[in-house]
Structure 1
Amino acid sequence: MNKRSLGNLETSRRAAILEAAKRLFAARGYHATSVRDIAAAVDLQGGSLYAHIASKEDLLWELVSRAAERFVGGAAAVEAEEPDPRRRLRRLVEAHVAVMTSDPANAVVFHHEWRALPPERRAAIAAQRRTYEAVFRRAIADGVRAGVFQVPDPKFATLLVLSLGNWLYQWYRPDGPLPPEAISARFIELIERALGACCVPPVEPARATASTGNDAAPPRPAGAPPRPNGGAA
């Protein structure tokens, strides 16, 4: 067997070990899962597992950090692409649900087992969680400034939004009655009502139009008093 084949075999074996660890950590918890349990799940002797991994902790770190990168990376992309705060928050919720539902076992490990990491690694994940939370908080704060959301405390509102989304790992099942798209739609409806945006249409992207020299007056907000005759204010 050549070096490339050996490398591919090792990569495949490590992926199988990581998958087994993920399932066991999600089902039993990190502390209740032994190295022997993980080895047995991939048909290895307990001691043989260390030929492929450095420690059980490294498996947890890889699973948790991989999930953190997906959450933070997806949110950063949405924030960079979407200036409208209401649309941004909608897309953030959709991205959050997508990560949670695309790999439910990893979502369980990320949300439930990350505190089992040692202090330095736990601090790194906590920092990523704060970065992720800040993206949601900025979307809500921008919406408040734009008059789209009606909440007195964007930070508290952010905790509400993420608490709703993070609890998904407790009840979501891939074979359940609601697909991820339907879950996102229901979450968005509830969140927008909670933020006071249920009756405010999202801002449409601006479209360039040729000037005629006789531009029409902008539309009046709903409930605004009528303009004076001929007035544009």
Structure 2
Amino acid sequence: MSTKPATAASGPTADGSRRSELLAIAARLFAERGFRNTTVRDIADAAGILSGSLYHHFDSKESIVDEILSTFQEDLFGQYDEILASDLDPRAKFEQAVLVSFDAIDKHPDEVAIFQNDAAYLLTFDRFAYLGERNQQSRLVWLELLQSGIDAGVLRSDLDLELTYRFIRDTIWVSVAWYRPGGRRSHTDIARQYLTILLEGITHG
């Protein structure tokens, strides 16, 4: 007796693919409209399904944005950890961290925009306390990179570490508002120009 093979449309792979598609749709809407201004119905309408069908995959709008942000940040901070643990010299580690950050903006612009625009609001909910922890982790990553550069003599010893960290944080991540994938300059080009400005300045030596 022959057995009819399972089709992709009815198996768990298809369900996982649909879930990923819904997350991508939700991420785009959250990034464009803001988390508070996007409803479950908006997401369902954009996906071409009924609102009730969305609850087959997620129990709430908060669960959707939680999965979007936690997955993205786990990957990003995993890359930072790899850089810190690598055998690269301090300057190369710093440069690699900048490149990884701009790569995240290129590959995950919606996730970055959501965090930039809605983190303060989401932090009012207990389930998103990890966003504050990630903020602190980011601070420690950059402070370690900067201090290592100073200790190795590749960065100026008179740097105000906290001020320099805040400058780097704000000038990198704000670029999500104007960077467009596929534009005249790639994210790598922008990252390298950013490093030139940051490390070498804009005046003649």
On whether the aligned pair clears a TM of 0.5, the verdict is yes
Q: In the alignment, does 2:96 pair up with 1:79?
A: no
Shift of 1:153: 1.7
Distance in 1 (CA, whole Å) between partners of 2:189 and 2:168 is 17
Shift of 1:113: 2.0
- Is the 1:68–1:110 Cα contact (8 Å) retained in structure 2? no
Which of residues 176, 180, 184 in structure 2 aligns to 1:169?
176
Distance in 2 (CA, whole Å) between partners of 1:149 and 1:134 is 17
> What is the TM-score normalised by the length of structure 1?
0.77
Residue number in structure 2 paired with 1:140? 146
Question: Mean Cα displacement is larger for which, 28-37 or 128-137?
Answer: 128-137
Q: Unpaired runs of 5+ in structure 1?
A: 200-233
Q: Unpaired runs of 5+ in structure 2?
A: none
Residue number in structure 1 paired with 2:99? 94
Distance in 1 (CA, whole Å) between partners of 2:65 and 2:49 is 19
1:1-233 to structure 2, matched below 5 A, reads 5-117=10-122, 118-150=124-156, 151-193=158-200
> What is the TM-score normalised by the length of structure 2?
0.87
Shift of 1:15: 1.3
- Is the 1:64–1:114 Cα contact (8 Å) retained in structure 2? no
Distance in 1 (CA, whole Å) between partners of 2:74 and 2:39 is 26
AA of the residue aligned to 1:193:
E
- Is the 1:67–1:110 Cα contact (8 Å) retained in structure 2? no
Residue number in structure 2 paired with 1:208? none
Question: Mean Cα displacement is larger for which, 118-127 or 138-147?
Answer: 118-127
Distance in 1 (CA, whole Å) between partners of 2:135 and 2:170 is 13
Distance in 2 (CA, whole Å) between partners of 1:115 and 1:63 is 16
SS at match of 2:194: helix
Shift of 1:2: 5.4
Residue number in structure 2 paired with 1:213? none
Bigger Cα Rg: 1
SS at match of 1:64: helix
Report sequence identity in percent: 27
Residue deviations 1:82-104 (CA, integer Å, cap 9, x gap): 44211111111011111111121
Question: Mean Cα displacement is larger for which, 155-164 or 26-35?
Answer: 155-164
Distance in 2 (CA, whole Å) between partners of 1:44 and 1:119 is 28
SS at match of 1:19: helix
**RMSD over aligned Cα atoms:** 2.1
Distance in 1 (CA, whole Å) between partners of 2:166 and 2:35 is 26
Distance in 2 (CA, whole Å) between partners of 1:66 and 1:111 is 16
Distance in 1 (CA, whole Å) between partners of 2:197 and 2:126 is 37
Tell me the matched-pair count: 196
Distance in 2 (CA, whole Å) between partners of 1:48 and 1:7 is 17
